Amino acid sequence: MSDTNKPQRPRDTELGAQQVSAFLSANLDFFDLHPELIERLELPHESGKAVSLIERQISVLRERNMEMRARLNNLLESARDNDKLFEKTKRLVLSILEAPNLDAIVTALYESLGTDFRVQYHKLILLGDQDKILTSHARVVGLDEAQSAIGTLLRTNRAICGVLRQDELEFLFGDDADKIGSVAAVPLYHGNIFGILAIGNSDPNHYRSSMGTLFLSYIAEVLNRVAPKLLS
């Protein structure tokens, strides 16, 4: 068998891809010392045409620049949305603080939720004696009745979001229950529970269990401190 028929073994002096990569990583100034090689390097392109390393680097930088611009635009949009949310919330809080009576509080709450925040459905339910809680704008029910209908919602001390049972929807929203797909609700406490604030949307996925409830919880905290003084 002649030497020409023997399979050729790679010589020890030949470099593999990993060795080349390791060398270039350890010698980042290599192409600075050999700029003529940059012009000779070619990389495959999606179009099928080969492009130089410099062109490829420019293309990568351009793509990164577009990505950074998109991220910056998202951040700016979020900042604008947060500013608008803050202004709406501030108007609502001031209206609640300036309200002279319980009906004025409920009116301010409903106008803000419906007009400023464009909430489709909203309802404030107060718990107690109908003869003692004087309001024509909020629904007043006995604690026992509420515990029987929405006891699970009342036992939590935080806002919850998601899809509710039909009987819970009927208790919270009355005639609008069939129109509501998802709900965000928060119980109201001042020592003891005295009410629940619920907002609804026709989209079953609008209020999800994974979404944040900071705004609703904040409004509930304001009501917790103001409303009890006017309940009797």
Residue 200 belongs to a domain with what CATH number?
3.30.450.40
- On whether residue 25 sits in a domain, the answer given is no
Asked if residue 206 and residue 128 are part of one domain, the reply reads yes
Residues 142-160 have a mean pLDDT of 91
Residues 84-97 have a mean pLDDT of 92
149 contacts: CB under 8 Å, gap ≥ 6: 167, 168, 171
Write out the residue range of the structural domain in which residue 201 sits: 99-230
Alpha-carbon 196 to chain mean position = 23
Asked if residue 131 and residue 215 are part of one domain, the reply reads yes
**pLDDT surpassing 60 at residue 12:** no
Asked if residue 156 and residue 76 are part of one domain, the reply reads no
Asked if residue 188 and residue 154 are part of one domain, the reply reads yes
Q: For residue range 22-38, what is the model confidence (pLDDT) as tens digits?
A: 888 888 788 778 777 76
- On whether residue 208 sits in a domain, the answer given is yes
Residue of 173, 188, 183, 228 whose CA lies nearest to 209:
183
Least confident span in 61-65, 126-130, 188-192: 61-65
Asked if residue 68 and residue 141 are part of one domain, the reply reads no
Please count the helices (runs of H) and the strands (runs of E) in the chain: 8, 7
- On whether residue 12 sits in a domain, the answer given is no
Q: For residue range 174-200, what is the model confidence (pLDDT) as tens digits?
A: 999 999 999 999 999 988 999 999 999
**pLDDT surpassing 70 at residue 46:** no
pTM: 0.68
* Total domains, the chain: 2
Asked if residue 223 and residue 108 are part of one domain, the reply reads yes
- On whether residue 183 sits in a domain, the answer given is yes
Asked if residue 217 and residue 103 are part of one domain, the reply reads yes
Asked if residue 114 and residue 77 are part of one domain, the reply reads no
